[in-house]
Structure 1
Amino acid sequence: MGRGKLTPQDKKDMKIISANLQGLLDEYEITQSHLATLLKIPKSSLNEYVKGKSLPKAGNVQKLADYFGLKKSDIDPRFSTKTTSFAVEKISNISRQLESKRQKKVLAFCQQQLADQKETAAVKNKPSDNAKADYQKAVETFIAKELEDQNRIDLNNIKKVKDLYQALGHKYEDVILYGEVSAGTGVWVGHEKAETIQYPAPIPEHDIALRVNGNSMEPLFYDGDLIFVKKTKTIHHGQIIVAIVNNEAYVKKFYRKNKEIRLISLNPDYNDIILKENDTIDIIGTVIT
């Protein structure tokens, strides 16, 4: 799967891979960034796969397939022994976005379409390519209608934001919140009593959850956002970390510039924190984005 000039088939494959990955990200409600971190795939590479700008390496396809419990050919058509039409890939991709009861309706509809096709073939000896395309188009239209109905929200039932989340198919899980961490001037971690809150699922695997205080990490994190932190024994240049410096806790980007170590803000209105040799520091962990 090496690099080189892209063929028309390569470009077609990239579209299929892009559609498959976008469908999986939507179905599992996971961000590109989080998935890339979990699978140790460069975020820029995964972004190009999702946007259909490059072909993934075989090893990365395997990682993706293993994570979602699929075969490599379910994600990347280059691993399929039989070429599948783009229409079929599109049907499969959209179907994944449907809730279970609607997927069953799609299956029943497809079975009926197949029965009709076989009946037509028995009369005409075999169905033409145009006839097959018509059946696939009918399936696409049916699925699109189911997806539209699934995403339609009855406002009569919406009283609270939680109702809106539930209408969109979100489930809630308990999260233990351990207080706040500053995105600006520094606040203590752990001074507040831990509280259990409801948060839309799925919740990433983490060791500690904190609320952001301040706007110095916009546009990645806004004031009041929840962040999930994974404890680690190693950190890397460029990672977002939570650290206590001189008894004040921050969420910042860990950055090494020449001989200086800095904790930098993403909001240009804030100055970097330049760490001095005599400063005390306790790195809690890295932020899962």
Structure 2
Amino acid sequence: MFAKNLKFLREKHNMEQLDLAKKLGRKSSSSVSEWEKGKYTPKLKVLNEISKLFNVDIDKLMNIDLSSGDENKNIVTIYNQLNIERQTKVYNYAQHELEEQNKIIDINEIREKQGIYLQSKVSAGTGILDLDPTYGETITYNGEIPNHYDLAFLVSGNSMTPTFEDGEVIFVEKYPNPINGAIMVVQIDDKAYIKKVYLEKDNLRLVSLNQDYDDILADGTNNIRIVGKVVF
């Protein structure tokens, strides 16, 4: 519901995604775009900022279809202009549609009940070793799930913002070799990272999207393992 409400409120206030991003202190619109796609939900601090910006209670922002209020007003206005006979037809049709709707199983509810298995955490910061499968857990997930993936990880750190936030779930397709320029999960010695990967003459360079972080270089003296490529 949050994704739909965010897009509704942004468009209602005549904002582009970049306009909203800047009001929230972000340099690009990528996070706003991913929020509206339902890929993930921002942290509570950001939710509070959005709530204040649009003057909407957080509970309503997360759980109530805010766009339905405007739609309902239009429906009632049109309905009241109909004569009694036509109002009766509209009511009977709406009643039938409601009965049919109640028979449908929401595929999103099924997905939430199934959940996804998180293999572990990968660092979007200075590196954290947490690829041991014994650390995994099953969680419910409300965002979009790729048609094909092999592993799911939880991002730890903020070096890949704004594309990947701390605490966000990422999906990975196993791939044993580095792909130049791709975002991949890589283990260097006893640390695992999510970074952009670049092949150089004697090095493997791991690059953060957040410019506050330095590149990480690995060479023949390191134990390098390519876990896989992040899929969107």
TM-score by length of 1: 0.40
Q: More relative contact order in 1 or in 2 (CA 8 Å, sep 6+)?
A: 2
Kindly indicate which of the two structures has a greater share of residues assigned to helix: 1
Larger Rg: 1
TM-score by length of 2: 0.49
